[in-house]
A = this chain, B = another copy of it.
């Protein structure tokens, strides 16, 4: 089963080694597509949904190289495994929680996932570590073209691709970049980013996209407008305007911290190390916060007792789904917090003994 295959190690996008990875966690493009001749899902009967899912799956499977792709029917995926997929950003929470015939096709390296019967008939996503929008666009465009040869997409000559929600009509594209902005958060300047994003009609969200709050140090920036601009224009804006500006803000904030408040910065980083290294019970949120400080600390050369691989692994493995899968059992909140602290401690011990 593919979940066994992927749950133990991070996919390509979480390896943390893509371009500009000190600040850019990952880039993602998704396309919303619907198949001509079927109603939107809010209006589709169970039978229509099942037929639609079967049809789409057949065409995806035909395009996929055997062994390199896997199709999962959501109804057959256990709750903890669904959570694992959400934590890996391979499906949305909505897709996990929904009912009716639906699935997801995932490439072995987890860079591509195609959700079937989410909000639209197809949600094609390509995800990569660091800032790699051009590479992603090449990939997703090719996948989209090949599927379009097999499936008749609902397309209007004037409006473009038709989608279940009007906000996606047109290109059906959403470009998102996940940024790690701990220095802007620490100095309180993160508001600047929010304002700039608003001016440019971009959305700022939390770690898990739509409907999740931008808490912690991770922020997902994505386009709001899909109509009246080409995909290339949207991507170029991100590449040449939006992301470089935010990276510049964050780098200045980091530099200022190092130069003017080095001791307070080190205090933050080292206390996070101390908490993770010694806690006996710890929540997911607190873990994220400390890992975020360590991530910054490692990139700034302020801490060498722990390596980036350990931090990246723990970002993923400390989340509730992964944790329960690792322990092979459903755990209560209290049990999870204790298990999480154990897991982190073991990783840190391994890390410092090899240092």
Contacts and interface: CB of A to CB of B under 8 A. Distances in A.
B275 A280 contact: no
A271 B278 contact: yes
Of A266, A280, A281, chain B has the most CB atoms within 10 Å of the CB of A280
Contacts of A271: 274-275, 278-280
Interface in A245-282: 263-264, 266-267, 270-271, 273-275, 277-281
Contacts of A273: 274, 278
Of A266, A271, A341, chain B has the most CB atoms within 10 Å of the CB of A271
Contacts of A277: 274, 278
How would you classify the secondary structure of chain A's contact residues: helix, strand, loop or mixed?
Answer: helix
A338 interface: yes
Contacts of A280: 263-264, 266-267, 270-271
A341 B268 CA distance: 13
Copies of this chain assembled into the complex:
2
B278 A270 contact: yes
Of A271, A278, A280, chain B has the most CB atoms within 10 Å of the CB of A278
Contact of A279 (B270, B278, B341): B270
A262 to B, nearest CB: 9
Contacts of A279: 267, 270-271, 274
A39 to B, nearest CB: 53
A285 to B, nearest CB: 16
A263 B281 contact: yes
Interface in A324-350: 338, 341
Interface in A270-307: 270-271, 273-275, 277-281
Nearest to A280: B267
A277 B271 CA distance: 9
A270 B264 CA distance: 22
B281 A264 contact: yes
Nearest to A345: B270
A180 B280 CA distance: 23
A270 B338 CA distance: 13
Contact of A267 (B263, B264, B341): B341
Contacts of A341: 267
A184 B179 CA distance: 45
Contacts of A266: 280
Closest 7 pairs between A and B when the two form their complex, measured CB to CB: A274-B274, A274-B278, A267-B280, A270-B278, A266-B280, A267-B281, A263-B280
25 contacts: A263-B280, A263-B281, A263-B338, A264-B280, A264-B281, A266-B280, A267-B279, A267-B280, A267-B281, A267-B341, A270-B278, A270-B279, A270-B280, A271-B275, A271-B278, A271-B279, A273-B274, A273-B278, A274-B274, A274-B275, A274-B277, A274-B278, A274-B279, A275-B275, A277-B278
Interface of A: 263-264, 266-267, 270-271, 273-275, 277-281, 338, 341
